[in-house]
Structure 1
Amino acid sequence: MDYRCIVSDDMDIGGVLRIASRLFVHRLVPIATVLLLVAVAESIWFYGQSAWIPGVPGEDLWATLLDAIVPLVLSGLMFLSLMVIIAKTIDNSYTDWFAVWGVVWARLPAYIGTSLMLTVFIFGLSLLLIVPAIIFGVFWLFCLHAVALRKRDFLAALSYSKEIVSGRWWLMLGYIVLTMISAAVIIWLGAALSFIPTLLLSMFAFMQPLLGLIYVFAIYLLMSFIAVVWTVLFLNLDIRKGPAAKIGETRAILE
Structure 2
Amino acid sequence: MNYKHLEIPQKKISTLYKKSWELYKKNFFHIAIIIIAVYGPLGLISYYVDSNFDWLTSMQIKSLIEQLIAIVATLSIINLIIDVEGEWHSAVEKGFKSWGVMIVTNITALITLTLLSFLLIIPGLIWAVYYTFAVQVVVLNRLWGKKALDYSKKVVQGNWWYILGVEVLTFLILFIASIILMLPFEPLPEMYFSIIGEVILSLIMVFLPIVNTVLFIHLMPKSVDTELIDERIKTDDHNF
Deviation at 1:5, TM superposition (A): 5.6
Alignment-mate amino acid for residue 246 of structure 1: V
Mapped pair 1:200 → 2:191: no
| CA gap 1:180/1:24 in 2 versus in 1, 3 angstroms | closer
Distance in 2 (alpha carbons) for counterparts of 1:102 and 1:200: 34
Distance in 2 (alpha carbons) for counterparts of 1:187 and 1:125: 32
List alignment gaps of at least 5 residues for structure 1.
Answer: 53-62, 202-207, 249-254
TM-score of the two chains, using structure 1 as the length reference: 0.75
1:215 to 185, 197, 210: 197
Please tell me whether Structure 1 or Structure 2 has the larger radius of gyration of its CA atoms: 1
RMSD: 3.0
Deviation track 1:94-147 (CA, whole Å, cap 9, x = no partner) reads 2x3332122111100011111122122112211111121122122221112111
The residue correspondences of 1:123-202 to structure 2 (distance < 5 A) are 123-186=114-177, 188-189=179-180, 193=183, 196-201=184-189
TM-score of the two chains, using structure 2 as the length reference: 0.79
Sequence identity (%): 23
Distance in 1 (alpha carbons) for counterparts of 2:14 and 2:90: 31
Deviation at 1:247, TM superposition (A): 5.7
Deviation track 1:167-226 (CA, whole Å, cap 9, x = no partner) reads 1122112212213322442454367x2xx444233xxxxxx5434322221111111122
| CA gap 1:128/1:247 in 2 versus in 1, 3 angstroms | closer
- Equivalent pairs counted in the alignment come to 222
List alignment gaps of at least 5 residues for structure 2.
Answer: 53-57, 227-239
Mapped pair 1:86 → 2:81: yes
Distance in 1 (alpha carbons) for counterparts of 2:59 and 2:199: 25
Mapped pair 1:33 → 2:33: yes
Mapped pair 1:104 → 2:95: yes
